Amino acid sequence: MKCNYCEWRCDLTNGNGICGRYKCENDKVVECEPFNWIDFYPYTVESMPFYHVMPNEYVIQTGTVSCNAHCSYCINSHLAIEENSARKLKHKSAESLVALCKQMDCKGVVFAINEITCFIPSAIEVAKRLHAEGLKVGCLTNGFETEETAHLLADNMDFINVSLKSLSDEFYKKDLGLSSVQPVLRNIKIFNDKTHLEIVTPLVHEVVENEIYDIMDFIYGVNPEIVWHLFRLMPNNERADERDMTHEEMLKIYETARQKLPYTYLGNFAGSQWVDTYCPDCGELIIKRICTGAWLGGTVFNNLVDGQCPKCGKKISGVF
Amino acid sequence: MYEIMLDVNGWQGLFDFQTGEALPFENKPYLELAKEVSKRHPYPGDLNPSVFAWTTDFALDVVKEYNPQLMLISYANAMITRVNSKLTTVETKDLERLVLSEAFRFAEEADYEPIIVSTGNMKKIDLVVNTDDIEGYFNVSTDPYVGGIFGATAKDYETVQNMNGIKSYMTKNEFIKTYHLYDEYALERTPDIILFADDNFALTNTGNRGTTLEEISEKKKTFKAFSKLSGLPNDIFEFRSFIDSQLKSGKRIAVIVVEGVDDESMPDGSIDVNKESDGIYYSEGVLFYYALLNAKKFNVVGMPYIFHNPFIKKKPGARYSFSYIKTDEFQDPIGFNRDFKTASVGTRSGIFHSACMCDYSFECHCRGLAESGVLTFVNGKNFENE
Ligand code: SF4
Ligand code: SF4
Ligand SMILES: [Zn+2]
Ligand SMILES: [Zn+2]
């Protein structure tokens, strides 16, 4: 019996597959612990990060454990990668998760702690319940889903953030433990066609040196209005061996990328001044944001009028 | 003008302390010192063993460049490491020894009368209250034996009446009355229900991004303090006036907080200091630093409250974006606008500079173990006439 949620297509006849979160039951693939979550954190949607989604609103961030990848600089490795038998998940049904959103005046849920591929059925059920109540839902993913899962997600998520770390299979094998980047590139196109898409690319030096502009061109080819987050990594905790890239190097990438992809941002560090949205047509500063610490942030002001530039009327892509 | 300067691995930015707005560096000579010292000491990371030497070296550099009469230092990383890592007894002892040797290295190399204080014993986490049935948003406070429920449902008021490991609870109104809360900032941070755990149970949620705790502070009424100065007080709320009187007599004082060093590991001759008042344990974080440095209880006007309600920042005009918790009224912080020079260096991110507001307050800028370099609070008002 095969699991078809991601491209590993694990055989679950004798075990739980690579992520360890699915099993075979009555000839069906089911989650080992459906509706069991690591915890619930109210955060601004900017902190996920989603920059073109409901500025300054709070969402409940949740997730489970494990991952189908093994990234060398995973900031959630304590959940995604390390085994910890003492960790206990909390059960919360889709209904009560929706109720929590309402009680706390949150506009929805974002599955952002670990890889959504590890709990697809629960996530889809929560998404349906949220939509029935007029709330929104989004997720972060590494994009290694199968084509059918990608469609399922694209049809049920209001916004998706894909982490695109490189264009090279070699890099994906070595740094993520995934067999190829091709499914990720395919799924990016599926997501772009069907839902709001943002992409995160961590600025790892070998990517910066070899292919950062190729990644830019790939995104441009899919859709120049995709939101692209360039992520500054803190060498001290995420990749101990990472060379400290200079700020000027990162700024140059940001400035270059903005010529083609107007919604490019350079963030993931406190105080970043490169996280604001300007109108691609008239240059008006439309949304001003603040990065308060590492990944945390919010919106200082949002001048959009019905999702449009207040000066020239250009429609800004996103969920506004 | 009060400013925040950030140094993120070489990139430096200047911000308004209150509004968080970016500012031009312009020609403010007093910022040169902050820029240079931060640049010389990039932050190595919360769990990096070199962080202890980083703290000492940074502090010595500040003394060399600024030479304050009052120097405050916090070594928080033994605590942070114990909270976040599984350590053997030997590893814990090594960590405690390392912190103390760094504290004494500072005292020896710089010419100060040191007052070394711990925050009290820590212990391995054991029994944890099961909060799965709570429907609202459960959040812990600074004290691991106190928790709260925001957005409590009708069912939550029933659930808490019969929870294993819970000694007592109070509704928001009862709590406000009992502790005479009246500050708007504190009121809006008070949960609907406040839970007090039995002494052998802890209230924790998984931390930021699902991290679990290995150790918490022990429920104990005292911590240790060590100094060669005579008359060291035995109550946390008397330290401020003791320090002030020493400064008045012209002494150069260094208050050095060593978090995560157990009582038995403190230097011989350390005394017991009470940290409990009205059932509240001023054990750590905001509570500890405000009590020790400013003699402030949690319920006074403008005092940051012990619960962090993450929704508060949603309000328009949210302020102190880089400072974690801060109110508009500065409650006589120990290093603020004194008639002598003050400085602090520490790794208690977000809290230390708010509690002391020294002329220069340097600290790491961290959120849930994700580091963003060095943050400096600068009291520009002090330097206006220079
Ligand atoms: S989701 Fe998990 S079990 Fe399914 S194919 Fe992917 S790694 Fe294997
Ligand atoms: S895909 Fe994401 S969660 Fe999974 S290991 Fe990589 S960084 Fe961590
Ligand atoms: Zn415009
Ligand atoms: Zn820190």
Q: Which of A56, A99, A294 sits opposite B370 (nearest CB)?
A: A294
pLDDT higher than 80, residue A123 = yes
State the Cα–Cα distance between residues B344 and B71, nearest whole angstrom.
Answer: 6
**Per-position pLDDT tens, chain B of length 386:** 899 999 988 899 999 998 889 999 988 899 999 999 999 999 988 888 999 999 999 999 999 999 999 999 999 999 999 998 899 999 999 999 999 999 999 999 999 999 999 999 999 988 888 888 888 888 888 788 999 998 899 999 999 999 999 999 999 999 999 988 877 777 877 889 999 999 889 888 654 445 578 899 999 999 999 999 999 999 999 999 999 999 999 999 999 999 999 999 999 999 999 999 998 899 888 889 999 999 998 877 555 555 666 655 555 556 788 886 666 667 789 999 999 999 999 999 888 998 999 999 999 998 766 777 899 999 988 887 65
Please, is B49 exposed, middle or buried when counting C-beta atoms within 10 Å of its C-beta (0-12, 13-18, 19+)? Answer: middle
The Cα A38–Cα A88 span in angstroms is 7
Q: What chain B residue is nearest to A38 in terms of C-alpha separation?
A: B210
Helix pair angle (B51-66, B89-109), 10° resolution: 10
Q: Atom 5, ligand 1: which residue's CA is nearest?
A: A9
**Per-residue pLDDT, A237:** 46
Q: Does domain A34-268 have CATH number 3.20.20.70?
A: yes
Predicted local distance difference test score (pLDDT) of residue B208: 43
Mean pLDDT of A212-227: 98
**Partners of residue B370 in chain A, C-beta under 8 Å:** 75, 234, 237, 293-295
Look at residue A240 and tell me whether its pLDDT is greater than 60.
no
CA distance B316 to chain A (A): 9
Question: Dihedral of CA B258/B264/B269/B275: which sign?
Answer: positive
pLDDT, position B331: 77
Least confident segment among A57-71, A131-145, A208-222, B223-237:
A57-71
Across the interface, do A294 and B8 touch by the CB < 8 Å criterion?
no
How confident is the model at residue B310, as a pLDDT? Answer: 60
Domain residue ranges in chain A: 34-268
Q: Which atom of ligand 2 is nearest to the CA of A79?
A: 3
- Closest Cβ–Cβ partner in A38, A56, A58 for B210: A38
Closest to A90 (Cβ–Cβ): which among B132, B209, B311?
B132
Instruction: Provide the pLDDT for residue A183.
Output: 98
| Surrounding residues of ion ligand 3, Cβ less than 5 A | A 279, 281-282, 284, 309, 311-312, 314
- B289 within 8 A of B355, measured Cβ to Cβ: yes
Q: Give the confidence band of A87 by pLDDT, cuts at 50, 70, 90.
A: low
Can you tell me the distance from the alpha carbon of B220 to that of A147, in angstroms, rounded to the nearest whole number? 57
Phi, psi of A94 (to 5 degrees): -60, -40
User: What is the spatial distance between Cα A14 and Cα A11, in angstroms, rounded to a whole number?
Assistant: 7
Residues, chain A, total? 320
- End-to-end CA separation in angstroms for chain B: 14
CA of B208 to the centre of ligand 1 (A): 26
To test the contact with chain A by mutation, choose from B321, B347, B374 the residue with the greatest count of A C-beta atoms within 10 A, namely: B321
Which protein residues touch ligand 1 with a CB less than 6 Å away? A 3, 5-6, 8-10, 17-19, 21-22, 68, 117
Bridge partners of A137?
A109
Interface test mutation site (partner B, options A92, A231, A292, max chain B beta carbons within 10 A): A292
Q: Which of A19-33, A111-125, B180-194 has the lowest mean pLDDT?
A: B180-194
Nearest CA in chain B to A95: B135
Minimum CA–CA partner of B212 in chain A: A87
Q: What is the pLDDT of residues A1-13, one digit of tens each?
A: 899 999 999 999 9
Q: Cα(B118)–Cα(A119) distance, rounded to whole angstroms?
A: 44
Q: Check A75 against B370: CB less than 8 A apart.
A: yes
Q: What is the per-residue pLDDT for A80?
A: 63
B5 vs A contacts (CB less than 8 Å): none
* Residues of A in Cβ contact (< 8 Å) with B20: 290, 292, 300
**Whole-number Å distance between alpha carbons of B378 and B380:** 6
ipTM attached to this prediction? 0.89
pLDDT at B298: 83
Average pLDDT of every residue of chain A: 91
Task: Looking at the CA of A79, name the nearest ligand.
Answer: 2
For residue B236, give the nearest of B257, B217, B216, B209 by alpha carbon. B257
Cβ contacts from A onto B, under 8 A: 128
Q: What is the DSSP annotation of B109-168?
A: HTT-EEEEEE---EEE--EE---TT--SEEEEBSSTTEEEEES--HHHHHHGGG-TTEEE
Contact B372 A269 (CB under 8 A): yes
Which ligand gives the minimal distance to the CA of B352? 4
Residue (of A313, A316, A310) closest to A262 by Cα position: A316
Residues of chain A with pLDDT > 70: what percent? Answer: 92
Lowest mean pLDDT among A81-90, A191-200, B34-43, B141-150: A81-90
- What is the atom index within ligand 2 of the atom nearest the CA of A77? 8
Report whether pLDDT(A31) > 90.
yes
Q: Give me ligand 1 centre to Cα A7, in Å.
A: 7
Task: Return the percentage of chain A with pLDDT > 90, whole number.
Answer: 75
Sequence-separated (6 or more) residues with CB below 8 Å from residue B377: B2, B3, B4, B17, B323, B353, B357, B358, B360, B361
Q: Which ligand is nearest to the CA of B83?
A: 4
pLDDT at A246: 85
Which residues, 6+ apart, have CB-to-CB distance to A290 below 8 Å?
A275, A297, A298, A299, A300, B20, B321
Contact check, Cβ <8 Å, A42/B310:
yes
Contacts of A142 (CB under 8 A, 6+ apart): A67, A68, A69, A115, A117, A162, A163, A176, A178, A184
pLDDT in the model for residue A85: 46
Residues with CB under 6 A from ligand 2: A 67, 69-71, 74, 76, 80-81, 114-115, 142, 176
Cβ contact, residue pair A270, B44, below 8 Å: no
Q: Report which bound ligand comes closest to the CA of B55.
A: 4
Residue B12 Cα to ligand 1 middle (Å): 43
Residue A192 CA to ligand 1 center (angstroms) comes to: 23
Which residues in chain A are contacts of B311 at CB distance < 8 A? 42, 58, 104-105
d(CA A60, CA A103): 11
Q: How much is the pLDDT for A243? A: 58
Nearest-CA distance from A41 to chain B in Å?
Answer: 8
Helix, coil or strand: residue B174? helix
User: B206 or A171: which carries more pLDDT confidence?
Assistant: A171
Of B136 and A148, more confident = A148
* Domain limits, chain B: 2-124+215-321+342-383, 127-202
For residues A285-313, b (16+ Cβ closer than 10 Å) or e, as one string? ebbebbbbbbbbbbbbeeebeeeebeeee
The highest-level CATH class for domain B127-202 is alpha beta
